[in-house]
Structure 1
Amino acid sequence: MKALILIAAILGVSFATDNVAVNNQGNDGGNVHQTVNINNQDNVANINQYNGLHSWNSVWDYQRGVFAARLVSKRACVVSRMNKNVVPSLEQLSKATQEKQNPNAPPPRSLTYTVSQTRVKNMAPYGSQIEALCKGVPTFFAQEVQGTGLFVNLHGCTDLGILRFLGISLCGNIGC
């Protein structure tokens, strides 16, 4: 009986989390490796991109409606609210990781954020996972840019591509 409980517990944990690795060949011929870990129980996704100096790690907390990205090259973290009208749900993320890339698919949707120069002093409201991600590096808040003046005064952008269906640009003097 104890063995059945142990097996059920192990299976329950494995069903609660999806782990996926995606390898992409970049336009410059470089290799980009991206992993997606989904914790359905906590409504959190961890997305990591391994690409040398352009690597980044992110936590997407769907319950709180926030995400954070730790940018290796900038030695900084950026936290912002999720645009739930554009950001894929956990179910969509999980489904997309199981599908082959369609060469005829439409280009990914994109979001642009401006990063403030004011440091976030209290990370507690963003949850323990985002707090852990950003621990030890300066953290800045970003706000989504919308409207016709989108590209006015945006400089120093860092681009994050979430799988094949969402592009994010974090613009401003991050970490400076």
Structure 2
Amino acid sequence: MKALILLAAILGVSFADDNIRISNQGNDGGSVHQTVNINNQDRIANVNQYNGWNSWNSVWDYERGLFATRLVSKRYCVVSRMNRNVMPSLEQLSRATQGAQEPQAPTKSLTYTISQTRVKNVAQYGDHIEALCKGVPTFFAQEMQGGAGGMFFALQGCTNLGILRFLGISLCGNVGC
């Protein structure tokens, strides 16, 4: 009986899901609420930001090396490859859910250019991304090497996503749905 309880405890720890909730007070007095849910078994992180019309939802699929973000105000999804050298690992996100996040960690940023061509088969990116993007136009984005490129991208309609204190992501491009 003790062995069964020990086995259940070990499995519970190794397959446990982690959750974190962050509330940030904006400069305009508004509140931004962000949640992170981690499924360790499937190696998936769901990041959600609740901020009215500027809300978004994101799935990070660490097995496939992909992430997708559904932008509420834009009414479309963007899928791209994860830059594992910059994006926090699933373990770093998990530590943040346990309060072990380093408060002085440097903020990193990535900029992506959104393709004008719609993804024809979102199912090719896996069940989790398909569930997020199903029913809305979906586009693939490429990471820009060497930074954002300054004013050119500011004119191309960038949407900025802040993932906890780890990472800033800019999705740039005027997509015609």
Pairwise TM-score range, normalised by the shorter structure: 0.7 to 0.9
Q: Is the Cα contact below 8 Å between 1:110 and 1:167 reproduced in 2?
A: yes
> Structure 2: any 5+ residue segments left out of the alignment?
none
> Structure 1: any 5+ residue segments left out of the alignment?
none
Closer, same or farther: CA 149–64 of 1 in aligned 2, 3 Å: closer
User: How big is the shift at 1:96?
Assistant: 1.9
Q: Which residue of 2 aligns with 1:158?
A: 159
Q: Which residue of 2 aligns with 1:108?
A: 107
Counterparts of 1:13 and 1:126, CA distance in 2: 28
CA RMSD of aligned residues (A): 2.4
Q: Is the Cα contact below 8 Å between 2:15 and 2:41 reproduced in 1?
A: no
Q: Which residue of 2 aligns with 1:58?
A: 58
Closer, same or farther: CA 62–102 of 1 in aligned 2, 3 Å: closer
Please list the CA deviations of residues 57-113 of structure 1 after superposition, one character each: whole Å capped at 9, or x if unmatched: 00000000000000000000000000000000011011123338876x255100000
Task: Give SS of 2:152's match.
Answer: coil
Task: Give SS of 1:80's match.
Answer: strand
Query: Which AA in structure 2 matches 1:120?
Result: V
Q: Is the Cα contact below 8 Å between 1:17 and 1:37 reproduced in 2?
A: yes
Counterparts of 2:176 and 2:31, CA distance in 1: 26
Q: Which residue of 2 aligns with 1:47?
A: 47
Counterparts of 1:153 and 1:142, CA distance in 2: 17
Q: Is the Cα contact below 8 Å between 2:20 and 2:96 reproduced in 1?
A: no
Task: Give SS of 1:137's match.
Answer: coil
TM-score by length of 1: 0.87
TM-score by length of 2: 0.86
Identity %: 76
Please list the CA deviations of residues 10-67 of structure 1 after superposition, one character each: whole Å capped at 9, or x if unmatched: x728952111111111232210000100000000000000000000000000000000
Query: Which AA in structure 2 matches 1:162?
Result: I
Query: Which AA in structure 2 matches 1:40?
Result: N
Q: For 1:1-176, what aligned pairs fall within 5 Å after superposition?
A: 8=8, 12=12, 15-99=15-99, 105-147=104-146, 150-151=149-150, 153-154=152-153, 155-176=156-177
Task: Give SS of 1:99's match.
Answer: coil
User: How big is the shift at 1:167?
Assistant: 0.3
Query: Which AA in structure 1 matches 2:97?
Result: T
> Which consecutive aligned stretches of 4+ in structure 1 deviate over 3 angstroms post-superposition?
100-103
